[in-house]
Amino acid sequence: MTTSHPVCLLGAGPGDPELLTLKALKRLQGAEVILSDDLVDARVLALANPAARVLRVGKRGGCVSTEQRFIHELMIREARAGHRVVRLKGGDPFVFGRGGEEMDALQAAGIAVEVVNGISAGLAAPASIGVPVTDRRCTPGVALVTGHNGEGGVAPDWAALAQSRLTLVIYMGLARAEAIVQALVDGGLPAHTPAAAIASAHTPRQRQQLCRLAELPAMLLREQLASPAILVVGEVVGLSAAWQGLQAELGLQRSA
């Protein structure tokens, strides 16, 4: 019987390959089979062992999403065949990456799991525009939440978040931005709270826009920011140089 290597659930970070950890790079270079999500940047895959078999098992890009169960079976089969398997995910595997479900399936099959963290988009995107998400002058902390409405999971309690004083970092929030903003304002978050949307952070396609919370849905429509994007809501957005620049610009427009 072949002894299987642990399957590595590996975070690829948000895009820029320089944001990979050294451990992630090592595991990519040693991989024999890589099951990769579509969100993973091609520049990261280019660093992997050239002899590795790369299987795209993504959920985006217009193709039919690969069933989660099929991904589990594939990982188990490849690991049992004695291959060094890397399950490569954008950002961090345990932050909205289904890493937990995959860990469970592997462990239930008697296969050990190694988790290699990646820099999650929800931390990397705000940092890329100078937003310090837990700045103690404004907030007691940060909440990483999904903008999805809870299909197959638990939906965020927007009213409670509106009262929490936490910085809100919203993943997968573009499609439901209008409803989310409405729920936050209804929950008592001031409509003038600074907000930002950052699309394709740390890729050559990165775009960002800052505005007041109430203006967010209209801004997204006008600027046509595309997925993947992170929304950030909180006073900390106001600390960024980008926000200061925006305010200066608005002041100039007003006085002109």
Please give the Cα distance from 247 to 180 (Å, whole number). 25
Asked if 252 and 244 touch (Cβ cutoff 8 Å), the reply is no
| Residue 126 touching ligand SAH (CB under 6 A) | no
**Alpha carbon distance 197, 221 (integer Å):** 12
Catalytic residue (one of 37, 75, 92, 219):
37
Annotated catalytic residue 16: no
CB atoms within 10 A of CB 81: 12
Residue 170 beta carbon to ligand SAH: minimum distance, rounded to whole angstroms: 7
* Binding mask of the shown chain, residues 172 to 191, with x at each position contacting ligand SAH by CB under 6 A: x-------------------
Q: Which of 9, 20, 31, 95 binds ligand SAH (CB under 6 A)?
A: 95
Q: How far apart are CA 116 and CA 128, in angstroms?
A: 22
By the rule CB under 6 A, 39 interacts with ligand SAH:
yes
By CB under 6 A, name the one of 4, 120, 209, 240 that touches ligand SAH.
120
- 65-73, 74-82, 225-233, 242-250 -> range binding ligand SAH (CB under 6 A): 225-233
65 binds ligand SAH (CB under 6 A): no
How far apart are alpha carbons 58 and 78 in whole angstroms? Answer: 18
The nearest distance, CB 91 to ligand SAH, in angstroms, is 2
Question: Does the annotation count 37 as an active-site position?
Answer: yes
Give the residue from 111, 142, 153 showing the smallest Cα distance to 3.
Answer: 111
Beta bridge partners of 232: 169, 196
Q: Does 227 bind ligand SAH (CB under 6 A)?
A: yes
3-state secondary structure (DSSP) of residue 22: helix
Could you tell me the smallest distance in angstroms from the CB atom of residue 251 to ligand SAH? 29
Looking at the DSSP bridge assignments, the partners of residue 230 are 171, 198
Catalytic, 219? Answer no
Rg (CA), the chain: 20
Residue tagged active-site, from 23, 38, 59, 135? 59
Residue 152 CB neighbour total at 10 angstroms: 6
Question: Which residue's Cβ lies closest to ligand SAH?
Answer: 91
Interacting residues with ligand SAH (CB under 6 A): 14-15, 39, 89-92, 95-97, 120-121, 125, 171-172, 198-203, 227-230
Residues annotated as part of the active site: 37, 59, 172
